[in-house]
Every structure is written in structure tokens, then in C-alpha cells.
Amino acid sequence: MSGAREKKRAKKMRNQPASVTLPAEPGPFGGGGSRACPTPGDVRSEQQQQQKFSNQSSGPPYRKDQYFSKGQSRGERGRGRGGHQSVSEEMPKYITVSAFAQARAAEISAMLKAVSQKSSNSLVFQTLPRHMRRRAMSHNVKRLPRRLQEMARKEAEKAVHQKKEQSKTKCRKARRRHINLVAEFNHRQRKNIWLETHIWHAKRFHMVKKWGYCLGNSPTEKSYRACYRAMTKQCLLQDLSYYCCLELMGKENELLKQLARISSIDTGLTFQEASCLSGRFEGSLNLYRADRYPEGMLGPVTFIWKPRDGSENRQLWIWVHPALKQDILKELKAIFQCSEPEEICISEPVTASVQEEKQMEVVTSLGNKRKKEDKEGEKAVPVKKIIGDGTRNPFQSYSWISRTTGIAVSDRSMEILRYRLIGPLSHSILTETLKAASVQTEMADSETELNNWWVENCKDSEKVSLHQCQSAIFELLEGMTSPSDMPPGTILGLTVGDPRVNLPKKKTKAMPDFEKYQDNDKVRQLYLKGVPADCAHSFIWDHDICKNVTENKISEQDLNHMRAQLLVPGSHLDLGPCESKIPILLVQQPGKMAGEDRRGWGSGWDIYLPKGWGMAFWIPFVYRGVRVGGLQEALKHSEYQRTPHTPNDFPDCQAGMQFAKELETSLLENFKRRPPAKRANYVKLGTLSPFICPWGQLTKNWEGRMKASGGFLCPSSPHPDCCTTEGQTLCDPKAEVVREAFPENGEAEETMEITSSEGALKTEDLTSTQDFGERDETKTSDCIVLRSEKLLMQLSAWCYPTAGKDRRIRLVSRLGQKEMTEDVFLPILMSYPRALVWVHLSLLRKGNPELHAMICIPTEDDLLCLSKDKLFCGPQEPKHRDIFKDKVQKQKEEKKKKKKDNVKSLESDPAGIPEEEAAEEHEDLVLGLWSDALPDVTSHCSRTVLGYVTRGDFSLAVGCGEALGFVSLTGLIYMLHNQPADKKGLVLLRTPASLQYRFARLTIEV
């Protein structure tokens, strides 16, 4: 048989059962073996005999043996003519009936199944030719030919059984019905809470789920530079309602006594600051675990005291980031001994859920009208959208009280909304959007509670005069050029009317009118003295008033109905006494306060509102020409202010550690998604940890270096025995230098390999081997961040270089700081051996710093090259050798071999695969990543590592690359002590995926 015929025959027989025995294959013949393949001549003679026999025999099959004598077969007759082997050798003499029947049964069932099943997804009537098809065949079976009617009936019955239940909100009209929309929205925000502006953001922003909320990350349109221009010259709006408000109520002395345990005057303001305690200004500070400063960092917070009203009890709001809420709330309950829940409010959410269940029963089917099953019909009360405290777990308490001190701790998250306006046009936006409420002494409708609290307060002449004073100061804000002109943290209370009434017909841009207030003495007094303490009072502190304002809000439907009844369409709508009065609180944000350049940049106002009024204020702000930003814009805002961002830049608190762990997981997944040929080999680049900053090991290594050297006697080389330059490699007894030459170009490539008895240089303190994904626990647990203002000012003065003769001495004496001597900085190192310092880096030349870039100490030769050539961009790191390449290749081969063995074992014994292998699997080695325990991170490269960058990018504010990060306090003092006077603060930056170092200026802004 030719090769083509063999392939054709094999293709035809490949789907046959295993029990079928073919002549050309081994089978259960007489001796258990297989006969030899016939020659082409034998095959031809056999085919001729079969053809001849088939022409002669035309009778039934049982008559075919009449041409042969008894005991003689066709094979014997053929062999007598010189043919090939007999048929008795080709066909078995006997078969096992049961096995043969079983094999044939399987073939017959497969054939019947193939015949009964359709080869396509078309219906029966679609198989007919086009000239035989009729329009009614799809639903009228009798239109089909009789031979196909039975199959069509079965298809119809099958379709009825498989038909899914009709969706309750399939029709768009039903989906857009208000009652169905609200029920659907409440259902979708069970896991992640929606802000009141969520739907507005979802149509215009990329949404992300973070910290239990669904938040807008960045606009869908290109607006990176536009948002920066808005923050610099116009106005940017942000919704910060996801920030959590923790309320403390109790006696002032008891509050201050316990709050002093979780804060320190060494870091700046405390809760006892006089200006903040009066309620006139907002304060900000860092919280620590009780009596554990400087360790046990909880996170940054802002706080507002309610102005004194003659009562002994005081009220305090502490605003925290949602990532820090649980830790801070737990610590507050611990120091105030609040273990008894004051109340568990479950009535509102339960009622809402019952209404939601009734609503779901109303729309049971789409085809039926709603009035048929809803007895009330159009009078049915729609499900109210859950807002504020209704978004919380109804069975979880949110208010606790101490039996010993009587102090109550309440969680008022989502009860108070918070918007932020950033930019110089914030004053114009506020004054055009908001109008002070008019004085009202009579109720508009005695049956409702609308504005009843306002009418009662307007009967008091002192409160009316206070409201008029607040309104006058609010109007004067339009005459100020920027919010930074106000004292930092100024608080202004106000009661305003419904901003929807003043909504313009189309979007406009609010512009200031400085000529109007050019010669106004009141504006100058506001510049100098600020807002009086009495004007900081607001009714938003009262829970009952906020609840009344939320419940008696005029709906959009009613407001539009009133607009439709105006005689002149588009004219101003005057609601008179029926207009809602909303208490708000305005808090000034000072913007950039540290440093000497761009002071006041990014300043603005925060607006605090009662819940339920989010969109009523949001849309009027948007119609005044603001640009809306998300989480990314907030990140850039803090980056240009050079302040730490929460929780990204807090490596010593639990939320910062969690953020670093999640970021590492995300970056590692993205790295593994790339093809191996497109990945950066970080081992060759000398980057030990490209996806997370090993803060704990960095500080530990610097502490070990100082203990080993015994002081600051050596230059800034990672290895004191050898001075390293750009063209040299490391000389270390624990390091082996390997030089590889390439014959094609004749140049030698310098490679570095750090080896030891186990293949990696391990630190003395690190004895156990850790996997790549498990190193983060030790990286961020053994360090603190230096936040002492006195020490930071001292370090900031030491970082300034000498630009002229004796300029540094004059600068230090002007700042009242001491010169850098061992008697001054050694006590600092003894007090903070493992501390990090927040620094700002500005590149001298081109370059764009990236996340997790290394901050290194330049050598003497680097500084000398920079002095000789001002265009010197920086040295280069010699390539390292990948010591894990062989391990990765070996693991890959073992994996392939193991996979083949598993396939073979599965074919032989499917149930014989042991389950222990899955448990023994460990994390695979990744080519290009350091897989063993980290060596000494400070001396792994040719330049000593000082710290890492947490945020870096090209700065639109200064026109060059800027970065923010942390450096080791020990390493910083070591560098400043050994650097020349005119080169103080010069460092090197190297991104994780590059070998090029870039010069940068290091500063500490306080």
C-alpha cells in the first residue's frame, strides 16, 4: 500500500473503537501476533479475485460459498493460483461474541447520535430550500412538509422548556422607571458604597473600587495638563465625601487628656492648640498609638472643634482617610474606654429593604402592566435611595459611649459631605454659586417642618446679627485674589439658600471683579485679621437640624414643575419662604506651605454639607466652569505640594504597608503578563526589589554599616577597601567580579556577580530564606519616619550647598541651627538608628524619575567629573551577572519533564496521579527577578543606596523631573558629613530598568 493510501486509511480508521482489529495492525489472531503486510503484487491479485467474484455472485450473501468445495476457501483457491495468504489467516477463526457485540453497539449508538443531532444551529424550516420556505413556518408547524412536522414540534417543545425566565427589567421603559432605578442602584452598592455624585462620575470617569467605595479615578477625556492649569489659574473640583468623620463628644478636659496620648507636640500642632481649640481654625496632625511615639504610626488626620457655646461639653470632628479609619477608631475607643454601643440604628435600612422587597414583587413580569398587581398603582411610594448612615451595615453599631467618662465616639461617615475647590477662582465660584439665606420669621406651611429650625433661630436677634456678619464676610471673599491670602485653616460657617434656584441656563465661567473691592477697607481687614471666631459657628453641628434639612429637601421633580409654571420661561425662580435653608461650613486649605518656592500653590476651600444635598451643590459648581478631578488629580495635587499622600507615602503605618503589598502584587502581575523577551532583567540591572521598597532592610543595613565602621571616617564608597568609579567594579571579599569579553566587538563588558556559599550575600540578621512575595512583611516593619520639626529643620539647613563665600554660615546662623559636627549629629543617630526622612529631589539635567527609583550617594570621582564638565549627565552602573538564569532554566526543564510524566501517567492510569504533588508546588522562579533572600541593599551596586523614590514624574510646575521619597537618616548624615561644602545635597538617581545614574538636588522642606 502506498504512503498516500496508508494516510487515507489511517484517517478513516482513527475514530474506530479500540476493540476493532484491522488486518494491517496487530490483533487477536491465532498466535496472538499480526500477519505480515502483503506485497503490492499480492494486493493486486487479491483485488482482481474479489472483483471477479463480485461480478459472478449476484445472489444473496448466504449463497456466496456455493462456488467453493467443502473445506476450501477463497484464499486456498487463490493460493493455488499463486496468490497470497489464505483468508483463514486474514480473518479470525472465532470471535468473542460479547466483546464483538459491545464494540458494534458503541459504533451503532455513535452513528445514531450523529444522525439524530443537527450539524448546525439552524431550525428545521431553515433547512428547506428558499423556494419552499413560508413566512409562518416559524410558529405554525402545519406549514412545514409532513416529513418535518414531527421534528419541528420537538424543537418547539424543547425551546419552551429551555426558555429563560423573562427579565423583569428587559424593557428600557421599565428600566428607566424611577422606582426600578433606585432599587437597582441600592442593590449594586451593597459591597462598595456609592457617593451621591457616583452616577455623574460614572458617565465621565474611570471608576475604581477602593477602601469600600466606588470612586472616580481619572477623567475619560484627555485632561492631564488641563487639570494642572485649573489648579494653578482656574478652579478644580473634587468630591472628598469618602473621607470618614469621627465625632467625639464630652468634657473638654477629658477629651484633651486622652487625645494627648496619641499625639506629640514634637511633630507640630496638637489638639490643644489655642487657635484650633476655639473653633476658628482647622488643625492637622499625625496620630500614633497611645504612648508609643515615635513608633506605632496610625496616620495623618485633620480636626475641627465646634466653637464654644457656653456648655461644658465640647464637640470634635476628626477627618481620616478610609484606609486609616478602622485603626484610628479602634485606638480612640481604647483610650476612651468606649466598649458599650450607644445605639444600633436598624430601623431605616430595614424599612428600606422591606420597601425594596415589595417593589420587586410589584414588577414580577414585564409583559403585565404595573397597575394590575400594584393596588396603589401610581400612588405607590417609590423606594428612597439609601444615603448616609443607611449605606452602613444595619446590624453594626456606629456610636459608642464610655460609662466612666461619658465621652461618646460616633462614626459619621457619609453623614457629612465634603467637596474641595482648588485654585485662585475658588472665591468667585463660591460667591456666584451660593447665596446667603434670607431671614425668615414665619412658617411657609404649618403642616410641614420645612425651615422650622431656621424660623426659630431667626427670632433670636443675636443669631440674626451673626448670620448677617457671616454673609458680609462671605461676600468679601470675591475681592481676594487667592484663597492663600486667608490665614491657613480659616473656618467660616454659613447658612445658604437652595443653589439650584440660581442655576444658569448654560455653563458659564465665574470671573472675579477686583475693581469692585479695590479700595475696600473691609477686604484689607480680612487680609490682616482673618475671620472672627464667632463667625465659625454653623448649624451643621446639630444632628437634628441636618436630619430636618435632608428630609425636607424639595425634589427635582417639584422644582422642575415650578419652573414650568413660570410666566416667562427661563426667568429666575423665587421660592420665597418655601426655599430650603442649608447650613454649610467653609474651611480654607492653605496649599503649599513648606519650602521657599510657589508658596500658597494649590490653595482652596473645603465645603461641608449635610447628606442628601450632594448633587444639588455639585451641578451648580460644574455650571460655573470648574474642572472636576479624581483620585489621580488628588495624587498630583499633593505631589506638586511636595507633601506625603495618604496612604501611599506612609510606610510606617499599617495602611501604608497594605498599599505597598497591593502595589507589589499588581506590578508583579503586569510584569509576568509581558512576554519573557520584553521583560527587563532586573538582576542584570542590579535592581534587587523593583516592585516594592525594602525600607526595613535599608535602615537595618545602614545601622549595621555604621556599627561595623565605628563612625563616619570613610568616603561614600560602598566598599571602603576600594574606591569605585564609573570604569571600575567592586572590590569586596564577598563579591566576585566576572569580566566577559565579546569577540565580535572586542570590547569587554563588565559584569558583577555577588556570590556566597548559597549563591547570595545574606545579611547577618537575615537567616531564613524568604520567597519573593513574602519579603514585604520584613521590609516595612522595622523602621519609623522622622517627623520631629526641630530635627527636620536642622537637617534641612545642612542640605543647603555653598553658592558663595561663607553663604552657608550666614544661612545656618540665620535659621538658628547648629553647624554639622559629630557632637550634634551623633545624639540624633543614637535616638533614631532606623529612621527614614521625607525628601524632595529635583534633577539637575534631563531625566524622568520613576516609581521605586534608587537614591544613591555619588563618589568623589562623580563629583569631580561634574565639576569639570557641567554637561556630565552621570555615571553608569556596570552590568551584573544573572546568577539565577541557570536555576530558572533548570526549573523550566523540570517542569516540562514533569508535565510529560503526568500526561503518560494519565494515559496509563487516570486515577493514579498523587495529590501530594500539588501541595509541594512552590512559587516559580521568575527570570529577571531576585529570587533568594535580599543581600545588603546598600552595597549591592557600585553606588551606595541611600533611599528610594515613592513618586516621581516630570513636573509641569518647575519644568524638570522631580521626585519624592524617603532616605535613611543614618545614610543622609553619613553623606552630608563626607561631601564637600559646595556639593552638599547632591545625590544620584537611577530608575529600576536603567543603568544610567542622574544627578539630583536633595532638599528637605519643612
Per-residue model confidence as pLDDT tens digits over 448-507: 778 888 888 888 888 899 999 999 999 888 888 888 888 899 999 999 999 999 888 888
Compute the distance between CA of residue 917 and CA of residue 901 in angstroms, rounded to an integer: 12
List, for residues 211-225, the tens digit of each pLDDT value: 989 999 999 999 999
Please give the full DSSP string across 471-523, using - where no structure is assigned. HHHHHHGGG-S-GGGSPTTBEEEEEEE-GGGG--SS-------GGGGTT-HHH
> What is the pTM assigned to this prediction?
0.74
The answer to whether the CB of 839 falls within 8 A of the CB of 1005 is no
Buried b (16+ CB within 10 A) or exposed e, 480-509: bebbbbbbbbbbbbbbbbbbbbbbeeeeee
Distance between start and end Cα atoms, the chain = 92
List, for residues 951-992, the tens digit of each pLDDT value: 999 999 888 999 999 999 999 999 998 888 888 889 999 999
C-alpha cell of residue 25: 495492525
**Angle formed at CA 271 by CA 269 and CA 277, multiple of 5 degrees:** 105
Cβ count near 51 (within 10 Å): 10
C-alpha cell of residue 43: 494486493
Please say if the pLDDT value at position 357 is more than 80. no
Which residue, 224, 387, 361, is CA-closest to 955? 224
**Which residues make Cβ contacts (< 8 Å) with residue 383, sequence separation at least 6?**
179, 182, 183, 186, 352, 355, 356, 359
Looking at residue 43, its pLDDT comes to: 40
Cβ count near 755 (within 10 Å): 14
Mean pLDDT across 280-295: 91
Cβ count near 674 (within 10 Å): 10
The helix/strand/coil state of 610 is: strand
The answer to whether the CB of 290 falls within 8 A of the CB of 637 is no
What percent of the chain has a predicted confidence (pLDDT) above 90? 34
Compute the distance between CA of residue 263 and CA of residue 162 in angstroms, rounded to an integer: 66
List, for residues 700-712, the tens digit of each pLDDT value: 999 888 888 776 5
Distances (CA, A) of 675 to 665, 672, 882: 18, 8, 18
Compute the distance between CA of residue 213 and CA of residue 205 in angstroms, rounded to an integer: 15
Please say if the pLDDT value at position 36 is more than 60. no
Please say if the pLDDT value at position 39 is more than 80. no
For the stretch 176-185, contacts whose Cβ atoms lie closer than 8 Å and that sit 24 or more positions apart, written own/partner, are 178/382, 179/359, 179/362, 179/380, 179/382, 179/383, 180/359, 180/363, 182/382, 182/383, 182/384, 182/385, 183/356, 183/359, 183/360, 183/383, 185/385
Please say if the pLDDT value at position 329 is more than 50. yes
Distances (CA, A) of 547 to 123, 313, 399, 501, 542: 62, 22, 17, 22, 9
Kindly give the pairing relationship between strand 297-305 and strand 283-288: antiparallel
Mean pLDDT across 641-653: 92
Please give the full DSSP string across 125-174, using - where no structure is assigned. GGGS-GGG--GGGGT-GGGS-HHHHHHHHHHHHHHHHHPPPPPTT-SHHH
The answer to whether the CB of 88 falls within 8 A of the CB of 73 is yes
The answer to whether the CB of 505 falls within 8 A of the CB of 573 is no
Cβ count near 173 (within 10 Å): 9
Pick the more confident residue, 158 or 642: 642
Looking at residue 206, its pLDDT comes to: 95
Residue type, 43: V
Mean pLDDT across 761-783: 41
Looking at residue 403, its pLDDT comes to: 86
Please say if the pLDDT value at position 56 is more than 80. no
List, for residues 371-425, the tens digit of each pLDDT value: 434 444 444 444 555 565 556 666 677 888 888 888 999 999 888 999 999 999 9
Mean pLDDT across 557-574: 86
**Angle formed at CA 564 by CA 558 and CA 569, multiple of 5 degrees:** 140
Distances (CA, A) of 54 to 59, 61, 496: 10, 11, 108
List, for residues 182-220, the tens digit of each pLDDT value: 888 888 888 888 999 999 999 999 999 999 899 999 999
* Mean of all residue pLDDT scores within the chain: 77
Distances (CA, A) of 296 to 320, 455, 651, 829, 837: 17, 49, 11, 20, 17
Compute the distance between CA of residue 658 and CA of residue 648 in angstroms, rounded to an integer: 9
Q: Over the Cα atoms of the chain, what is R_g? A: 41
The answer to whether the CB of 538 falls within 8 A of the CB of 583 is yes
List, for residues 736-766, the tens digit of each pLDDT value: 333 333 333 343 344 444 333 333 333 334 3
60-74, 203-217, 919-933: segment of lowest average pLDDT: 60-74
The answer to whether the CB of 25 falls within 8 A of the CB of 33 is no
List, in sequence order, every residue forming a beta bridge with 854; answer none if it has no partner. Answer: 948, 990
**Which residues make Cβ contacts (< 8 Å) with residue 397, sequence separation at least 6?**
341, 342, 343, 344
What percent of the chain has a predicted confidence (pLDDT) above 70? 74
Mean pLDDT across 238-248: 93
The answer to whether the CB of 761 falls within 8 A of the CB of 935 is yes
Residues making up the chain, counted from first to last: 1006
962: left (phi over 0), alpha (psi -120 to 50) or beta: beta
Stated as kind and residue range, the H or E segment containing 815 is: helix 807-815
C-alpha cell of residue 319: 477627618
| Helical residues (DSSP H) of 18-139, grouped into ranges | 40-56, 74-80, 87-90, 97-116
Which residue, 706, 700, 705, 749, is CA-closest to 729? 749
C-alpha cell of residue 348: 431605616
Query: HSE (CB half, 13 Å, CA atoms) of 378?
Result: 0
Q: Cα 200 to the chain's mean position, in Å?
A: 20
Compute the distance between CA of residue 695 and CA of residue 889 in angstroms, rounded to an integer: 31
Please give the full DSSP string across 552-571, using - where no structure is assigned. TPPPHHHHHHHHHT-SSTTS
Of 77-81, 312-316, 361-365, the range with the highest mean pLDDT is: 312-316
C-alpha cell of residue 815: 535659621
The answer to whether the CB of 969 falls within 8 A of the CB of 668 is no
Which residue, 436, 419, 424, is CA-closest to 618? 419
Mean pLDDT across 585-596: 89
Buried b (16+ CB within 10 A) or exposed e, 883-919: bbeeebeebeeeeeeeeeeeeeeeeeeeeeeeeeeee
**Which residues make Cβ contacts (< 8 Å) with residue 139, sequence separation at least 6?**
none
The helix/strand/coil state of 57 is: coil
Distances (CA, A) of 31 to 26, 73, 98, 843, 859: 11, 20, 21, 88, 87
Please give the full DSSP string across 459-485, using - where no structure is assigned. TSHHHHHHHHHHHHHHHHGGG-S-GGG
Mean pLDDT across 639-649: 92
Which residue, 468, 489, 473, 466, is CA-closest to 525? 473
Query: HSE (CB half, 13 Å, CA atoms) of 929?
Result: 20
Looking at residue 323, its pLDDT comes to: 93
Residue type, 773: G
Please say if the pLDDT value at position 779 is more than 90. no
For the four alpha carbons of 703, 705, 707 and 712, in that order, the dihedral sign comes to: negative
